[in-house]
Amino acid sequence: SVLLFCISVTLSPAGFVQISKSCILNINVLDFVRPLLNSRMEATLKNGERLNVSRKYLVNIKSKLQEGM
């Protein structure tokens, strides 16, 4: 079985980033990110779906967003 981390590394150049232990996010469909309580963030996609970004993976999404600037 392939680990989600391995998939996220492979897909990273295409704009994907791991945001939790069970989710990889495509930055290209990200609408905005907002803070929640307990140091977590919520990512809202362009289709309105909301995903939780865990503290452990917060640095991943921050660095991916900075790459795009």
Nearest to 57 by CA among 2, 1, 12: 12
Q: What is the mean pLDDT of the chain?
A: 90
**What is the average pLDDT across 14-37?**
93
| pLDDT of 26 strictly over 70 | yes
What single letter denotes the amino acid at residue 60?
Answer: N
Task: Enter the pTM of the model.
Answer: 0.85
Q: Which H or E element spans position 20?
A: strand 16-20
